[in-house]
Structure 1
Amino acid sequence: MAGYSESKDDYLKRLARIEGQVRGIRRMVDEDVYCIDILTQVAAATKALQAVSLGLLEDHIGHCVVGAARESDEAAEAKVHEASAAIARLVRA
């Protein structure tokens, strides 16, 4: 079971809204909307995706990392390393 399973419907709703935002941005570019207005929408979509990422990360730590810690030190260490790598990717993005 995925760590986000209990929040899956919420994530799907948020992602659908983000998908709509991105379609709106595409439409704005197609209609030659002012650059700053498009950048404002890109920033909003980016922030929304970051919020999803942080939620998924929190779910991963609360479910997958904690579950691995209950199994063994080696499993916990692997999950912590995996989470750290994911955090590094998020920070670079």
Structure 2
Amino acid sequence: MVGDHGHGYLHRKDDYLKRLKRIEGQARGLQRMVEEDQYCIDVLTQVSAMTKALQSVSLGLLEEHLNHCVRRAAEAGGAEADQKIAEAYQAVARLVRS
């Protein structure tokens, strides 16, 4: 939730940025592997590693959202609580589909 409390992940923002920069490096490495005609299985192995890294970031952000934004909205109750629960459900659904 934006409000005056900020997003739940702000206390770990540097950690998330570090992880995302590593993932960005992995993406560049994948591009280089394809440009250099590396073996298919080696490329797929790196795709799998990058996918796991993105999933880890996603799960961390989801946990932060549930523990911060959703919890605070649920404590307040009302329409905001319903909205945050729906957002969380939709986020989980997107993660499961990906």
Q: State the match for 1:48 in structure 2.
A: 53
Residue-pair matches, total: 93
Listed as ranges, the matches of 1:22-61 within 5 Å are 22-61=27-66
1:68 maps onto 2:73 in alignment:
yes
1:20-78 residue CA offsets vs partner (Å, 9 max, x unmatched): 01100000000000000000000000000000000000000000001101222322121
Taking the aligned partners of 1:83 and 1:73, their CA distance within structure 2 comes to 16
Unmatched runs of 5 consecutive residues or more in structure 2: 1-5
Taking the aligned partners of 1:86 and 1:61, their CA distance within structure 2 comes to 11
- Out of 12, 22, 26, the position equivalent to 1:17 is 22
Identity %: 63
Taking the aligned partners of 2:80 and 2:71, their CA distance within structure 1 comes to 10
Unmatched runs of 5 consecutive residues or more in structure 1: none
Where 2:8 maps in the other structure, the secondary structure is coil
Taking the aligned partners of 2:26 and 2:83, their CA distance within structure 1 comes to 36
Where 2:29 maps in the other structure, the secondary structure is helix
RMSD over aligned CA atoms reads 0.7
What amino acid maps onto 2:80 in structure 1? Answer: A
Between structures 1 and 2, the one with greater helix share: 1
TM-score (norm 1): 0.97
Q: State the match for 2:3 in structure 1.
A: none
